[in-house]
A and B are shown apart, each in its own frame.
Chain A
Amino acid sequence: MIATPQLRPPSVPAPPPASAVLRVNGLRKCYGDTVAVDDLSLEVHRGEIFAFLGPNGAGKTTTVEILEGYRSRDGGEVDVLGCDPREPTRAWRARIGVVLQTCAVQPELTVAELLRLYGSYYPAPLSVGETLELVGLSAERDRRAGTLSGGQQRRLDVGLALVGDPELLFLDEPTTGFDPAARHHTWEVIGGLRDLGKTVFLTTHYMDEAQALADRVAVIARGRIVAEGTPDDLGGRDHAATAITFTLPDGVAVGDVPGVDVPLVQDERGHVELHTTTPTRVLATLAPWAEEHNVELEELEVRRPTLEEIYLRLTEQS
């Protein structure tokens, strides 16, 4: 049994502002002369899945490791669950769960043994059976960790971070290198964490992952937050122009198409593309014209900019 995912449909409004479980203000970190993180501020609310996006070398891992208590900082205020992670206490560690980007487990121990062992580190752990169900590894409980597939090992990582029943989970690139089935399976597990009321701080390179899972996203580039919002309105995505593309049949030139108020661009293979903020009006002009002239607009596609396009634009600009 796997917890049912709740992939938030785009129409659902953002939840009302809840109490912040994580607050960063003016964070700064340098390595020698290199400024890795510069005046970075962000806030994560209780119960949300927050995706932290950014290219390699943008300061993503540095930021996350400061929040997890692994790294010192050179300036700014950081509050994670009411504590400064610069001085991590045992009680604080019991309230967070960490899934590192690359980490193995003792391959000789079984899945259930590892969950029991790691659970014993925490004051009020979940049961092994419950954790196995949450991460969908019930069938693998007696297998040695070293014999699991990559996707199963990653779900075990999530299980080990979850078994202590933490309030806040850090997931660093949880599905990098997975095949699509394993990714979707892991997404279901992460989506299920929301139902448990957990707050998730997710780092990822995959925009479809952020789109499917996140309530809010923030993009970091060159040590600064360059945009913040929901996956649907990030970087003005909700107002950005929609692309309409189609192919004209032989004998119909791009000049024959009735005037719409934006330029039409045709590439050498005959694809016509236009960008509009009023796609319905454009289609209302195109469709009757095509029908009247018996023209089939092949490969007709209406496409809002993807999160990936917005992300690339944001990270290239800065």
Chain B
Amino acid sequence: MNATALTARQLRYDQKSFWRNPQYVFFTVIQPVIFLFIFVSVFGNKTTLVNGHLIKRSTYYVPAITTLAIMSATFFNLTISLSRLREQGILKRVRSTPLPPGVFLAGRIGTSVTVSMLLVALLLAIGRLLYGVSLPTHTLPACIVTVLVGAAALSCLAFAVTAFVPSEDAAAPIANVIMLPLMFISGIFIPASEIPSGMQDVANVFPVKHLFEALLSVFDPSVGGAGFAWGHLAVLVAWGCIGALVAVWRFRWTPAGQ
């Protein structure tokens, strides 16, 4: 079997494994949907200032929660599942087989990206059907590219962080300590216009805000053109490369202490 066929098979089994795990499905799929309902239901009719003009909060929260969903499907899910696979010896076992290690890792990333795409579609559908948030069709390619770039970059960062996770139980707290504050200061829950500028400057260094703003420009009705936010995408690619380098440098296949 060639590498593509092997990766496709690996992806299929990883998908099965993902959808049968209630913990992964809840935190990755159901939680963002609940967040979207709550934020849009509570604040949806307000407006908020984006790029110098007012947009409806329902329009604001669809890309915000989409960002959260992509992070759940990639960064959180990969950090937690890879730490588990490593600490329980599953990675070590896989390493003893002739499966090329890259194929195994590609299957994991593929699963996260696939789940991200499905989630984005789900959140867009909910936004469109329940809250009348429109996705301008001319920005659809930009939307897909942004989701793919963001998902890939966050997956690489997950591999990097996993290398420093000392135990299975430490994975979720570490992922949250890194990402939860970033989500707050990047405007995922609280509109960016209400966040102090010093905090926004900090947020500007990290990838979360750039993914969110790239998605926001896809949804912002006043943004003309194809909606590609090249500057934000470039920052995401840079973070993805940093993550990949750290992962190559430090990623382990064996449990801690072995």
> A34 an interface residue at 8 Å Cβ cutoff?
no
Q: Which of B16-24, B147-155, B227-235, B241-249 contacts A (4 or more CB under 8 A)?
A: B16-24
Identify which of A91, A98, A113 contacts B96 (C-beta below 8 A).
Answer: A98
Per the bound structure, the CA–CA distance linking A164 and B96 in Å amounts to: 11
Number of interface residues of B (CB under 8 A): 23
Provide the residues of chain B in CB contact with A164, threshold 8 Å. 97-98
Enumerate A95-131 residues with CB–CB distance to B below 8 Å: 96-98, 100, 102-106, 108-109, 113, 117-118, 120-123
Per the bound structure, the CA–CA distance linking A198 and B64 in Å amounts to: 57
> B6 an interface residue at 8 Å Cβ cutoff?
yes
Identify which of B17, B89, B95, B98 contacts A122 (C-beta below 8 A).
Answer: B98
Task: Say whether, besides A103-B90, A120-B9, A70 and B97 are in contact (CB < 8 Å).
Answer: no
Identify which of A90, A98, A108 contacts B93 (C-beta below 8 A).
Answer: A98
- A113 touching B16 by the CB < 8 A rule? yes
Per the bound structure, the CA–CA distance linking A102 and B254 in Å amounts to: 11
Per the bound structure, the CA–CA distance linking A168 and B235 in Å amounts to: 49
14 other A-B residue contacts (CB within 8 Å) besides A93-B97, A113-B16, A164-B97 = A69-B96, A90-B98, A93-B98, A104-B90, A106-B90, A108-B16, A109-B13, A109-B17, A109-B20, A117-B10, A118-B97, A120-B6, A121-B6, A121-B98
Closest to B84 in A: A104
Q: In angstroms, how far is the closest chain A Cβ from the Cβ of B159?
A: 19
Per the bound structure, the CA–CA distance linking A164 and B9 in Å amounts to: 17
User: Could you give, for residues 90-104 of chain B, a 1 whenever the CB lies within 8 Å of some chain A CB and a 0 otherwise?
Assistant: 101101111110000
Q: In angstroms, how far is the closest chain B Cβ from the Cβ of A218?
A: 22
- A90 touching B20 by the CB < 8 A rule? no
- B96 touching A68 by the CB < 8 A rule? yes
- A93 touching B96 by the CB < 8 A rule? yes
10 intermolecular pairs with C-beta atoms under 8 Å apart: A90-B98, A93-B97, A98-B96, A103-B93, A106-B85, A108-B18, A117-B10, A120-B9, A121-B97, A122-B97
> A37 an interface residue at 8 Å Cβ cutoff?
no
Closest to B24 in A: A108
Identify which of A68, A91, A120 contacts B1 (C-beta below 8 A).
Answer: A120
Enumerate B116-166 residues with CB–CB distance to A below 8 Å: none
Please report B residues at the A interface, Cβ cutoff 8 Å.
Answer: 1, 6, 9-10, 13, 16-18, 20-21, 85, 88-90, 92-93, 95-100, 254
Provide the residues of chain A in CB contact with B16, threshold 8 Å. 108-109, 113
> A66 an interface residue at 8 Å Cβ cutoff?
no
Per the bound structure, the CA–CA distance linking A93 and B18 in Å amounts to: 28
Per the bound structure, the CA–CA distance linking A118 and B97 in Å amounts to: 8
User: Could you give, for residues 72-108 of chain A, a 1 whenever the CB lies within 8 Å of some chain B CB and a 0 otherwise?
Assistant: 0000000000000000001101101110101111101
> A160 an interface residue at 8 Å Cβ cutoff?
yes
Closest to A163 in B: B97
Q: In angstroms, how far is the closest chain B Cβ from the Cβ of A78?
A: 16
Q: Which 6 A-B pairs have the closest CB atoms?
A: A103-B89, A104-B88, A98-B96, A108-B20, A121-B99, A90-B98
Closest to B22 in A: A108
Provide the residues of chain B in CB contact with A122, threshold 8 Å. 97-98
Closest to A90 in B: B98
Task: Say whether, besides A103-B92, A104-B90, A91 and B98 are in contact (CB < 8 Å).
Answer: yes
- A100 touching B100 by the CB < 8 A rule? no
Q: In angstroms, how far is the closest chain B Cβ from the Cβ of A123?
A: 8
Per the bound structure, the CA–CA distance linking A123 and B1 in Å amounts to: 8
Per the bound structure, the CA–CA distance linking A308 and B99 in Å amounts to: 40
Closest to B1 in A: A120
- B1 touching A96 by the CB < 8 A rule? no
Per the bound structure, the CA–CA distance linking A96 and B100 in Å amounts to: 15
Closest to B5 in A: A120
Task: Say whether, besides A102-B89, A104-B89, A94 and B17 are in contact (CB < 8 Å).
Answer: no
